[in-house]
Structure 1
Amino acid sequence: MKHFAYAILLILLASSCISNKRITYLQNLPGNEVIDIDEFIPYANVEYKYVLQPFDIVDIDFASSDPELTEAFTFQGTKNIRGGMMGAGGGGDLFYFTGYSIDELGFIELPKLGKIHIAGLTENQAKVKVQEAINEYFKDDVFVKLRTAGIRYTTIGEFGASGTHVILRNRATIFDALASAGESNILAKRNKLFVIRQYDGGTKIHQINLHDRALLASPFYFIQPNDILYLEPMKIRQFGNADNLSSSLQLFATFLASGLLIFGLVRGSL
């Protein structure tokens, strides 16, 4: 009976441990071309240029040596909203109130200029197109600045914080996204991170392995606006979550060890 109880205790203790191989990022897995830790790893041969899509929001600002020229292109209160929300830490969400939404056909509508089709263009191409449209009115007297509302993405599943996040940069890696969302749960399947990415006219689901050092040279090393990241839980998830599983198993093991000690003392005294 005692040997059987000890065997059960050892099994419980072993099951409460998760191998480092299941939680360590960027391992040198078999088959990787990358071997040396100091080896230079070039980015994937994929041009990192996000193209604007319907329902994206872009911020467009105008500047001129003559402020009266830009008044016709500025909505009332927009400047106050920008200043107020930036002061309050509004971040990328301020563009929802001050920016221009691309409609389902790919157009934005600007005062005086009317509708301009910018879906399918990069930020710089869209800026040039708007600049050309405004030059028809003011030649080269007005300067246009156009940008997207940072990189907005969504995390669901075994993340530290699920939800929508915004990184106010033009480029961000998958690890920037993980860090911003609160690193992945210890029970997450890091070898099965699903990236749901929007393309022109549809969506694709990609699976990447965060354990694999080859990720650094893959086309999914950089995230794109509107990406959805989903992390599956390990099967052990059914017994508890990462916050209480280890403590629960340790507590159970402690009670079992105490019970076995008492049982042994009582039996020895008989």
Structure 2
Amino acid sequence: MSSKFDTYQKRRLKSSYFSVIISIALVLFMVGVLGLILLKSTKVANHFKEKVAINLFLKDEVSKKEIRGFTAFLEKEPFTKKVIYISKSQAARDYSREIGEDFLTFLGKNPLKNGVDIYLKADYVTSEKMLALEQRFQKNAFVADVTYDKPLIQLLTKNIQRISFWLLVLSSFFALIAILLINSSIRLTIYSKRFNIKTMQMVGATKSFIRKPFLWRSIQLGMLGALLSLIGLAIIVYYVDKYIPALELLKDYITLVYLVSGVVVSAFLITLISTFFATQRFLNLQTDELYY
């Protein structure tokens, strides 16, 4: 009879451990997916920002040699991502292609100017910084005019700030849910052993001695849950990279390191802290309070 009861208890204990691992894995997977979105949102935002260009139209009297020197100078500027020189003849061909007819046959001459498109690094694509660059280039002796899409910059900045804010709020919410769910799972597991804890305490075992195996077991369960969640995240990353290659997920080693580190550290800290306080609670209970 005792043997059957022990077998039942062991089976029940394994089932409890399994449910804890699955709970941790599911919660960490959910948080990991949201963390991945949060980490990649910056890259996606930067990708769109770096498509924005400031258009410099050069004066007619600027020579080709001066233009080469000017573009070489711009390429070395800290705000520059890429510089593209567009000659007035190239600009005329592009414009004729857009309107579907050769406008030069009507005008007799090319009214367009040589231009330089400066694609900026993401950090410089803000209304304030681009206005400062515009004012700077307007004072340049080679530049006749400076243009860029101001409404687009304002809209882009506003939307990126709004999306980043709500992603941060959502991430914080799910992180809180993760902590509560994992904490509840671990507390239930320790609750089932509250009588063992009190028995060990009654025979003279110290609190640290009693707590140690619970902490170690919870950390092991947390790491197993983290491993399962990382396997799920690896599958997600693989398929996202396959169908949306522009994100370059598999090549973005920094993001992947942050993601893996975040999941593992979260699993370790949450299980460690939850187990510590759960065991502390039962260690401080009186014997008659264990039945409530």
User: Which of the pair is proportionally richer in strand?
Assistant: 1
User: Which of the pair is proportionally richer in helix?
Assistant: 2
TM normalised by structure 1 equals 0.26
Greater RCO (CA < 8 Å, at least 6 residues apart)? 2
- Name the larger-Rg structure: 2
TM normalised by structure 2 equals 0.25
